[in-house]
Copies of this chain bind each other. A is one copy, B any other.
Amino acid sequence: MRSYAQYCGLARALDVIGERWSLLLVRELLDGPRRYNELLAGLPGVATNLLAERLRSLEAGGVIARRDDARYALTPWGQGLHEVVYALGRWAGPLMAQPRGGDAFQSSWLRHMVIARFEGHDPLRRDLSVELRCDGADPMTLVAAGGRVHIATRAASTPDVTLAGPPEPVVGLLLGRITRAQAEARGVRARGDVRRLTGLRPRGERQAATLSRA
């Protein structure tokens, strides 16, 4: 890519990872080393030549490295993009309840969304277990305990709350951006006391309108 030619941290960062697909490729590698075809599967829509070109570019930039086992992995510096990727994911919160037909969807993306939203310790967080059954993804269980949230990639035995249905309203309800009625009108089957979901979020962030796009 053409350089911005600005002595500014943001500009120099974008010179390295600002090209199309680059950050999504980093997202895939945040889950660990991946082979070329695994990356191709995790990036629906990317052309094969573009993936190869981005892999070369990010390797030259010191973000990723090709390992002996023919897998690509983030360098220690590249792993620092975790904060950038999650900051962008959190910022996109207000967009996640919006329906947009035709979007691809994968279990690992749902896990990233949940982690980005709930990572870190919060002493006010209430204990809770939530089973998520999004259409097109494996069942997943969010467990809040001791102020921290953990996510397991399997169904729960006795969840406090279960949300099943299309990804957008399920996530929208989980993030507190839509009401239970709105979610159910959009195909969500909710079981348990949905109001307890607000206990996952800090006091100041329990209103759905907070940081709304509108």
- Show the binding face of A for B, using Cβ within 8 Å: 4-14, 16, 18, 20, 23-24, 27, 44-45, 62, 76-77, 80-81, 83-85, 87-96, 100, 102-106, 109, 112-113, 116, 167-168, 211-214
Contact of A9 with B113 at beta-carbon distance under 8 Å, contacts A24-B4, A213-B62 already known = yes
Cross-chain contact B93 with A62 (CB below 8 angstroms): no
> Can you list 18 A-B pairs, Cβ within 8 angstroms, ordered by A?
A5-B45, A5-B102, A5-B104, A6-B45, A7-B103, A7-B168, A8-B27, A8-B106, A8-B113, A9-B112, A10-B23, A10-B112, A13-B95, A16-B92, A16-B95, A62-B214, A84-B84, A84-B87
Q: How many copies of the chain does the oligomer comprise?
A: 2
Cross-chain contact A6 with B109 (CB below 8 angstroms): yes
* Separation of A167 and B102 alpha carbons in the complex (Å): 47
